[in-house]
Amino acid sequence: MATCTFLGLGVMGGPMARHLAQKGHDVTVWNRTGEKADAWLAKVGAGRTAASPAEAITGAEFIFMCLADDPDVDAVFAAFAPALKAGQVIADHTTGSAGLARKLAQGAKAKGAEFVDAPVSGGQMGAENGQLTVMCGGDPATFARVEPVMRAFSKQITLIGDVGAGQLAKSVNQICIAGVVQGVAEGLHFARKNGLDEAKVIEAISAGAAQSWQMQNRWKTMVDGKFDFGFAVDWMRKDLRIALDAARAAGASTPLTALVDQFYADVQAEGHGRWDTSSLISRLNK
């Protein structure tokens, strides 16, 4: 079993850290809001809390982060970097930019530590059930060290390439999801406008080429106008901002992603930034 630190106990990080502890790893946690760390400890009944990131990583073999955005990751890394020791491995599960991942990898290397960018997909349900998909960028030897530990909360872990490749792969994931959700929303909206029974339509098409996870798991709540499941619009727009920035930098054409991003902006403008991503249908049904 490994000695681990987990920094960030939000809707994703909290369950991920719990799975590490429940699989027998020695886990120290830190969260910007100390009360959340205390609540995590009381719920899990294992591990320990730390007062600062630097204190949390002391003696850890593996340091996991799951934070909100690039500025948060940069600040937390700066807080614990002076305490980094040679041989420690940092795995950042935050969805962020490839540029920051490369910067942090250099910072870790200067201390003799190692770094893997490892954003995840699967949402809160995947985190709760320990069934996340992890996209990694880093040195193969470093990946080989940390991959068995990440198995505690994952069903699929893939090394995509060098540092930064994991974050770019996560952008691919979000680009694909944006298009699929909009397609399902338009299909269901079309069915309703034409007086079709949505349940029968989904039964007919979900076994064919149109099937997708979004269709199978979200069509009913989309039809019912219930959007308190899964990944929030606010976070999706953050991810799409990162993806669109990376697309511009690489000269990639992503017109559909840019359009769907603006559709999500419409949902935000209605005051529904905490609704889940399937809420795209709400703007069609208004």
Give me the count of residues in the chain.
286
280 neighbors 263 (Cβ within 8 angstroms): yes
Options 170, 193, 200, 226, the catalytic residue: 170
Closest CA to 163 of 224, 71, 100, 221: 100
224 neighbors 276 (Cβ within 8 angstroms): no
Active-site annotation holds for 170: yes
151 neighbors 127 (Cβ within 8 angstroms): no
80 neighbors 152 (Cβ within 8 angstroms): no
Residues annotated as part of the active site: 170
